[in-house]
Structure 1
Amino acid sequence: MFLPNRHPDYRTALDPRDAEALGLDAAIEVERHLIYRDNHAPTPLHTLGALAGELGVSTVHVKDEGFRLGLGSFKALGGAYAVACLVLEEAGRQLGRRVDVAELRTPAVRALAAGMTFACATDGNHGRSVAQGAELVGAASVIFVHAGVTDGRVAAIARYGARMIRVEGTYDDSVAEAARVSAENGWTVVSDTSWPGYERIPGLVMQGYTAMVREFLRQLPEPPTHVFVQSGVGGVAAAVAGHLALALGERRPAFVVVDPARAACLFETARAGHPVRVEHGEPTVMAMLECYEPSLVAWNVLSRVADAFMTVDEEDAVTVMNRLARPRGGDPAIVAGESGGAGLAGVVRAATDPAIRAALRLDGTSRVVVVNTEGATDPERYAELVGLRPGDVRPEPAIDAGAAA
């Protein structure tokens, strides 16, 4: 399904708070934070020339987040960044002065962080980032996972010292339970989705993702004309679209939000014109995107700067995983997890559907960027769907050794 953005706010200016959170100054500060993270390095931007030729576009570039900070996902940029910001703010309150990120690992700040507990709900990747961020600063973490999260992903999070709590039901049920239990215990919830009255911290999480956009704009020979990004609750799509709009202005690319058809909360929200919760049905293979209610902060951005919304099916996602693992025509091999290639699946669907192609003005001059949002964060599941181990596809580890064990 495909839907152009017809919201009354489309093409209007971002809310000043969103513009501040996703703008250039904020992105520069995020990159400064990254200097103090272990394993930090810009992630690669791959060029898929053969695929571009097949799709009838000029270029296809894939920003590969499968190696981000040893966690195997773009989520490494968000949760841990928010945890660090919150610890520094609390230190500033207690010490009566501004505390810089350079002081994050000092004994004084770590002693303060030791009394803090950070909690969140997760499909896997966000929880790993929050847990890693808490471990980095010396705080505690409690991570809530729903019934559909695999044991492999739970173990990967627990390796960062997190206390794990299983919740019956869906991701949205785990979000509600994390908020309830945290309120009872005085824990700080670091969620990547937002609801009325809880917006600032999800905004910090989104802010962390802007570093990825800064990187690929520097890595590209010229700005893209089209960007396709997948969505769960919408945080990464909003961060990418919002920063592109602020950084490039009228030269910004056409931006397309890609949902799994079985969990299309952003698509249905766009169709309704306001946030809606979609019914839980058969699980989607795109497990990291299996969310049934959008983030209000994300929708506030996407209603203004997304140009279109679309859905992809289960087989689309798995086909892209396999195509990236077995490239043609000299294209590089890429390890994309079940959700990682959903944006590229959207490109393939759009480029091969005459009506969508025309609506988006995709042609032989189009320069397309997508984000591989995750590598093989569950290596066993990856092998089931692709028939190859991640290391057989690309020799570099898809995630850190501890998480893969």
Structure 2
Amino acid sequence: MFLPNRNALHGRPLDAADAEILGIGGADTVERFLARRDNHLTTPLHTLPALAGELGLAALHVKDEGFRLGLGSFKALGGAYAVFRLVLEEASKRLGRSVDVGDLDRPDVRTVAATMTVACATDGNHGRSVAQGAELVGAKAVIFVHAGVSDERVAAIARYGAEMIRVDGNYDDSIRQAARIAAEKGWTVVSDTSWAGYERIPGLVMQGYTTIVREALRQLSEPPTHVFVQAGVGGIAAAIAGHLAIVLGETRPVFTVVEPARAACVFGAAKAGHPVKIAHGEATVMAMLECYEASPVAWRVLARAADAFMTVDEDDAIAVMRRLARPAGNDPAIVAGESGGVGLAGLIQAMAGHRTELGLDATSRVLVVNTEGATDPRRYAELVGMNPEDVLAGKVLSQAKP
């Protein structure tokens, strides 16, 4: 499915609150926080000339978030960052003085953090980030996971000391239960989706994602003409589209949101003109994108800053995983999880059927984001036919060639 953005808000400036969150000042704040992380490194930007040539493009670049902060996903930027901000705000309030990121290891700040419990629902990656953030600052974390979250992903979260609670149903069911129990217990919900009266914390999560596009713009010799980014509830797509709209203005790239056909909640919002709850059917292999209602704050940005919405099928996502693992020519090998290559899958489909609507041609420079590596290695090996370690070993060899 393909839908140009026909919303009346399309092309208009972001709301002032969203522009503040996703603008230059917000991105500066995120970078200041990241500078304090021991394992913070700029993630790679890969150039794929062979695939670009096959598709008839001037250039194709993949921003690879599979290496982000040791968590293997772009989500490492959002949940942990929001936890840090919330702990510092609470410490400033209780201690009666300004507390900044450099104070996170101070005994009095950690004493405050130890009294705090953060909670969230997750498909896997966001909960891992929240749990890691809580462990780093000395807070407690309670993570709600639905029935479709694999045991491997649950174990990866639990390693950070989080209490894990299984919920019957899907992601949206886990969101509701997390919010209800957190309200009863006095915990702080750190969600990557918003709802009425709850927007600031999801906004902070989105603010963390601005680092991805800021790094990419620095790594590119010139800005992209087109960007394809996948969406679950819409947070990363909104963060990237919003930041691009702010920093590039009239020269911003054509931005396309890509989703699984089985869980296309942002597409549903685009069709209806506002967030709607879509029907839950058969589960999608793109597990990290299996969401059935778009985040209102993310939709508010995308209604203005996205140019098109599209969906891809199960086979499209798997085919991209395999293609990135076994590249042609001198293209590097890339480990992309089940949801990681969905933006690229959208580009491939667009070149086959929607290039005219999007203005894609031989002069186009396209940016996509590999949002996750093999966060479930066993599942990755089942789908790709190779272990992620072997793919990365091939990557090292290909880069070593003269």
TM-score by length of 1: 0.97
1:307 corresponds to 2:307: yes
What is the rounded CA distance, in whole Å, between the counterparts of 1:171 and 1:304 in structure 2?
A: 26
Query: Hey, what does 1:104 align to over in structure 2?
Result: 104
Query: 1:395 Cα deviation (Å)?
Result: 3.4
Query: 1:236, CA displacement in angstroms?
Result: 0.3
- 2:151 is aligned with 1:140: no
1:99-124, CA deviations, whole angstroms, 9 ceiling, x for partnerless residues?
11111111111111000000000000
What aligned pairs does 1:226-375 form with structure 2 within 5 A after superposition? 226-353=226-353, 356-375=354-373
Instruction: Please list every run of 5 or more consecutive structure 1 residues that lacks an aligned counterpart in the other structure.
Output: 398-405
Deviations 1:111-167 (A, max 9, x none): 110000000000000000000000010000000000000000000000000000000
The CA distance in 1 between the partners of 2:281 and 2:38, in whole Å, is 40
Q: Distance in 1 between matches of 2:394 and 2:175?
A: 33
RMSD over aligned Cα atoms: 0.9
What CA deviation, in whole Å up to 9, does each residue of 1:56-96 have, x standing for no partner? Answer: 01000000000100000000000000000000101111122
**Distance (whole Å) between structure 2 residues aligned to residue 263 and residue 176 of structure 1:** 18
Secondary structure of the corresponding residue to residue 141 of structure 1: strand
Structure 2: 5+ residue stretches without partners: 396-402
Q: Does 1:47 align with 2:47?
A: yes
Question: How many equivalent residue pairs?
Answer: 395
* Secondary structure in structure 2 of the residue aligned to 1:262: helix
Q: Which amino acid aligns with 2:155?
A: A
Partner of 2:119: 119
Which residue identity is paired with 1:93?
K
Counterpart Cα distance in 1 of 2:8 and 2:245:
17
Q: Which whole-Å CA distance do the structure 1 matches of 2:350 and 2:290 have between them?
A: 22
Separation in 2, partners of 1:396, 1:59: 23
Q: Deviations over 1:248-288 (max 9, x none)?
A: 11110000000100000001110111111111000000000
Equivalent residue number for residue 386 of structure 2 = 388
SS in 2 for 1:276: coil
Q: Is the 8 A contact 2:7 2:303 kept in 1?
A: yes
In the alignment, the residues of structure 2 paired with residue 123 and residue 257 of structure 1 have an alpha-carbon distance, to the nearest angstrom, of 20
Q: Supply the distance in 2 between the matched residues of 1:334 and 1:369 (Cα, whole angstroms).
A: 15
* Deviation (angstroms), 1:37: 1.4
Tell me the equivalent position of 2:210.
210
Letter in 2 for 1:328: A
Q: Which residue of 1 aligns with 2:399?
A: none
Task: Provide the residue aligned with 2:4 in structure 1.
Answer: 4
Shift of 1:313: 0.4
Q: What's the CA shift string for 1:203-260, capped at 9, x where partnerless?
A: 0000000011110000001000000000000000000000000011111000000010
CA contact (8 A) 2:333 2:394 kept: no
Q: In the TM superposition, what is the alpha-carbon distance from 1:396 to its structure 2 partner?
A: 10
SS in 2 for 1:394: helix
Q: State the alpha-carbon separation in 2 of the partners of residues 194 and 38 from structure 1.
A: 30
Contact 2:119 2:188 in 1 (8 A): yes
SS in structure 2 of the partner of residue 395 of structure 1: helix
Rounded to whole Å, the distance in 1 between the matches of 2:37 and 2:181 is 30
Amino acid at match of 2:212: M
Paired residue secondary structure (2:363): coil
Tell me which residue corresponds to 1:62: 62
TM-fit CA distance, 1:97? 2.0
Task: Report the equivalent of 1:168.
Answer: 168
For residues 332-358 of structure 1, give each alpha carbon's deviation from its aligned partner in whole angstroms, at most 9, with x where no partner exists. Answer: 0000000000000000000121xx100
Q: Distance in 1 between matches of 2:195 and 2:38?
A: 32
